Structure 1
Amino acid sequence: MQDALGQLRSGRLCYRTEMGAQFSGDSLELLAELPGESVDLFVTSPPFPLLRPKAYGNEDQESYVAWLSSFAKLARDALKPTGSLVIDIGGAYQRGVPVRSLHQYRALLAFVDEIGYHLAEEFYWYNPSKLPSPIEWVNKRKIRAKDAVNTVWWLSKTEYPKADVSRVRVPYSKSMERLLADPSRHYTPKARPSEHNIGEAFATNNGGALPSNLLAIPNSQSNDAYFRACRLLGVTGHPARFPARLPEFFIEMTTDPGDLVVDFFSGSNTTGRVAETLGREWLSFELDRKYAALSISRFVEDWNPAKIKQVVAAIEDGGAIAL
């Protein structure tokens, strides 16, 4: 991370922690300043091309792919050969009709065909707590189902990026727990009709099952350090936050402790907080300095309200804090 910090102009620094740093500025400029092949993982969620303008800014559907590709090109230059770009892109409808936009798929094709990424795997983030939208087609006319899944593209610079799925195992099902408790009672090693050969090793307890590419993660947190700081300061937090478990999954799967993780649409800096907790170095870039300043609350849970308010105001005014 020190090499990367040396390239980034310190005037845009908001705060530093033991493992990382939050910057405020144009991510295109900040990405261009990163040293080549210095980043192990980019994990981010860009503004989606929604038809209703949002407070945090969102591009229109016509220009979205070209706009997002400009960031992806710079990210690829900064990635190590074994590195990955994980990008969460939500869906949207076309204007005035109940027909879906194809922006996330066009972006994927541009990343692969034009920029040179490889699609390591597609993931789908299922958010069971997501509110029904758009109201016109779902709530009023009831001609479309609730949209509760985002596409998450795991892209890589080479065909073999660093990854270890065994680090992100999930709890066994109840039936698998019963099988592991008494294998001879519940199955016999043999070839199945599907032509899968289930051997004796199937009954080995590995501490959890391998995950699927459907990530069921509710986005309903409302009382973490960030929300508490928003309430005590009387401000509205960033309106588009992803849950900590989403970046956590990919950080654990594709990086090692000490690796560098970067989020170039950091918002409330969930990624930086998760990376620090997991012992990874991190850099976060956010265009709006107010959002960047407020994200320090994720790292100072033991501070009193007056001190948090003072520090956030100092960062908003251009100051930089070392924690």
Structure 2
Amino acid sequence: MAAHVAMLRGHQRPDAPLLLTLFPPRPQPGQSVGFSRYFRTTAGQVLEADPELLAGIEAATREAPSHSLGLVVNAALPQPPDWGSQPDHFPIRRIRKGQPLTAAEQQAYQAERCELWNSGRREGWCAPKQWGASIEHIGPCRWLFAECDREGFPKSDQLALAAAVFGAPPTFSIDTGGKSAHCYYRLSRPVPPADWARLQALVIGAYGQLEPAASVDGSLKKPNQVMRLAGGIHPRTGALATIHTATGTLVDPAALEQHLQALQPPPHLNRRGHCCRPALPPPCAAAASRRCGRSPITWPPSRAASRAMAPMPATAAPTATETSSGAW
């Protein structure tokens, strides 16, 4: 856990805020989404293995063994000093006793919770929304990431595919203890959440174009995204999530966007030769590429080479630079 946090926040002060969470498993069709438990802490507390923090996580894990340990990857803006003083700082309740609430009833529920909280009632059920867990709380973003959900897809191939998408090996990767490797890329400078979301959408599109069968997780496109934390136990397998690789790759956002644009699915052409969306399904991609004047993208050039996962030379990755200084 400490090494994962050091990579994500090691360039910041020890008192840099960090939001850890125990998140529920993905619900089956027809099931409701479970609740997450949050732990607001600092990078220093994690790096120093704060006993109170660890005891709280361990106790919560025993209460919810099907949940997983994770963190909100991108850092939040500073919490406003008056957070919790207004009704819109509190969660909305949309259903009561199986019946949907009207907009007026939802607002009344928020106002009731706000009044109780500010009158001195500090029970969890009437607390304001956890700062740092919502999209609007997130500040400039430093990290991009990707995950493949395909069963039986070798992790060495997952890393090779990530290198093809981003133009360089991951800054670091996490073996989740399950079927996936989480591949992280550090941007050379933070970008606004809206720009981050655009880059992340391009990443997902590039994955789908290069290897549709990889089943890239298309839901990983929110600035407040929670990812599995190294050091946690995967509930399904019982295996420990661990840091798998680390290279020090830094990616320039502008160059990466240009690189990713070239990897997007080719546009569909109508009878007049005009481009329109959505993209054609994979079997038609090569034909559409030829009509658009683009060469079809093939990946990987060699399965044996992808499994070997030889380090990519810096000159082969115009969108990234690799450092060995250990500075994250």
Range into which the TM-score falls when normalised by the shorter chain: under 0.3
For CA contacts below 8 A with separation 6 or more, give which structure has more relative contact order.
1
- TM-score of the aligned structures, taking structure 2 as reference length: 0.26
